[in-house]
Amino acid sequence: MATSSLLLLLLLISSCIISALLPAASASKTRHFKWEVGYIYASPDCNEKILMGINGQFPGPTIRAKAGDTIHVELKNTLHTEGVVIHWHGIRQFGTPWADGTASISQCAIDPEETFVYRFRVEKAGTYFYHGHYGMQRAAGLYGSLIVDAADGEEEPFRYDGEFNLLLSDWYHQSIYDQMVGLSSNPLRWIGEPQTLLINGRGQYNCSLAAHPVEGSNACRPTSKDCAPVVLRVLPNKTYRLRIASTTSLSSLNLAIGNHKMVVVEADGNHVEPFTVGDIDIYSGESYSVLVTTDQNPSSNYWLSVGVRGRKPKTSPALAIVNYRPNSPSKLPESGPPMAPEWNDYNHSKSFSYRILARRGAPKPPQSADRRIVLLNTQNKIDGYTKWSINNVSLALPPTPYLGSMRYRLKNAFDAGMPPENFPPSYDVMRPPPNPNSTQSSNAYVIGLNSTVDVILQNANALAVNVSEIHPWHLHGHEFWVVGYGDGRFGEKEVARFNLKNPPLRNTVVIFPYGWTAIRFVADNPGVWAFHCHIEPHLHMGMGVIFAEGVEHVGKIPREALACGMTAKMLMDKHRP
């Protein structure tokens, strides 16, 4: 009896062990990458310049993984005098806040010739990307795609016969050093519109492929494979998934394919209720999947066109060719590239954004929030320097990353005190700031762990009269539900109208000119997280805030993430012989 009980117990224990081990071993794996970030020569738009590549490639290598996998990137910095970090955009970093890749926030920048290991889990299938998050290094070309497929045995709720990945960006001929100095100068030297739009790192400067096609004038014949147009080789009557992500520095984009409709099925790694459109808007920091059925005249090829939205375009659209096999890829499409909507047709943009709703069965938001933070977006002046401010505070990142300084409760590592939760009721969002003077600070919003937070992003008039810009806001460490949009100033009565039934989950959302956007999220990820405008020059000019939650629950931060500033000093001092 005692023996059989023991045997039973042993069997029970071993079956527990087996059941605990088996699923992990069979379903998910660790994917190893060894990368070197360094400057390379490249001609993304037929004009050679130096840019930041990874392992000699631009854009960086595509990471492809399955949901549940662990990504392990040994990142070596081979820049000569600059630090570097890489942010994994859209990856939650649950339990690994030090791997979020944000300089001054989650880790110390990696010194030249040093290596940092990014190790994190990708939880959810979807279309993601990665990019530099130090100074304006993203705009120097430091980016690439991160595609997560459904875990083995799981399925996406839509079918397709093939897929293409399109990573969109904009391109400047001026170096990022020149750009950063100009943006930090008094008077401001604005970076202007990009020279070129790129699809998968390729574009054509000052030349429309449609007017002067590939086989046409020399002026637009790509002089190297770097800048040859992307070709999407398709078969007739099939359905293709286009994964589209935007890592632009400045531009908001619109994408369309001649004659073809698109069915939107994914936004920022979340399934959305499918809807059909002729074109999609995509803002910096966003990603979408659309399904395209090749149901048009198969004897023709078609243009895929990417143009600028929200700012008066001075940049030619980027073009790719949808090549119906067996046509030659160099066969000119019979009709011109699709025209983008007027750059300032915001109703068109809004109607697209408003149609993005969660697919049935998606997780619903909590029905109420514990806290509401209202963030007024204004353009300001500080000692004559042009800045962007949130509730009149322009973000100045501290030299010691918050994650370490908060974890070790260091004094004076960043500005004390909580930033404002709201802005004065008298503030008129339709007019330039009556007093444009603002302040710089590194202070942070401390949020109760597991609390539900509403953030109202309130747009306003910039410094000039009748100017209000689009700002795509990106949240690190979380996804949020987009529970409402509106024009003008947000009012208390809007809360009752929040969409709590099927709001989409996202990591990036836009505020339209003079409008507001309401999001809700659960602060369930111990760490310190940036929430900021994804327009690179705007962030450089202070357009962001810091959220900290449950930092006392953060696990052991890798030494390398702490090896700078006050955390390094504290840890070194104690030991110093």
Select the residue interacting with a copy of itself from 126, 135, 333, 515 (CB under 8 A).
135
575 binds a copy of itself (CB under 8 A): yes
39 interacts with a copy of itself by CB under 8 A = yes
81: left (phi over 0), alpha (psi -120 to 50) or beta: alpha
Over the window 355 to 394, marking each residue x when it contacts a copy of itself by CB under 8 A and - when it does not, the resulting string is: ----------------------------------------
Q: Is 428 helix (H, G, I), strand (E, B) or coil?
A: coil
Dihedral (Cα; 177, 183, 188, 190), 10-degree rounding: 90
Interacting span for a copy of itself (CB under 8 A) from 36-44, 162-170, 360-368, 491-499? 36-44
Q: Are 454 and 374 in contact (CB under 8 A)?
A: no
Choose one: 128-136, 250-258, 297-305, 453-461; the region binding a copy of itself (CB under 8 A): 128-136
Distance CA 481, CA 455 (A): 10
Binding mask 266-295 for a copy of itself (x = CB under 8 A): ------------------------------
| Nearest distance from C-beta of residue 540 to a copy of itself, angstroms | 8
Select from 91-99, 255-263, 479-487, 557-565 the region that touches a copy of itself (CB under 8 A): 557-565
Return all residues near 188 (Cβ < 8 A) that are at least 6 apart: 182, 385, 386
- The span from the CA of 174 to the CA of 152, in Å, is 45
Bridge partner residues of 266 (DSSP): 271, 289
By CB under 8 A, name the one of 27, 40, 150, 449 that touches a copy of itself. Answer: 40
Residues of span 71-100 touching a copy of itself by CB under 8 A: 80-84
Contacts to a copy of itself from residues 175-194, by CB under 8 A: 175, 177-178, 180-181, 184-185
Bridge partners of residue 309, in order along the sequence:
252
Query: Quick one: 260 or 540, whose CB is closer to a copy of itself?
Result: 540
What CA–CA distance (Å, rounded) separates 122 from 90?
Answer: 9
Binding mask 399-438 for a copy of itself (x = CB under 8 A): x---------------------------------------
* Cβ–Cβ < 8 Å for 136, 179: yes
Judge residue 479's burial from the number of C-beta atoms within 10 Å of its C-beta, 0-12 exposed, 13-18 middle, 19 or more buried: buried
Instruction: Burial-class residue 495 by CB neighbours within 10 Å (0-12, 13-18, 19+).
Output: middle
Nearer to a copy of itself, 79 or 214 (CB): 79
- For the window 491-520, what string marks contact with a copy of itself as x by the rule CB under 8 A? ------------------------------
- For residue 26, the one-letter residue type is S
Tell me whether strands 452-458 and 371-382 are parallel, antiparallel or unpaired: parallel
Phi, psi of 112 (to 5 degrees): -55, 140
- Site membership for a copy of itself, residue 576 (CB under 8 A): yes
Could you list the residues that contact a copy of itself (CB under 8 A)?
39-41, 50, 80-84, 103, 108-109, 111-114, 134-137, 175, 177-178, 180-181, 184-185, 398-399, 559-560, 562-565, 568-569, 571-576
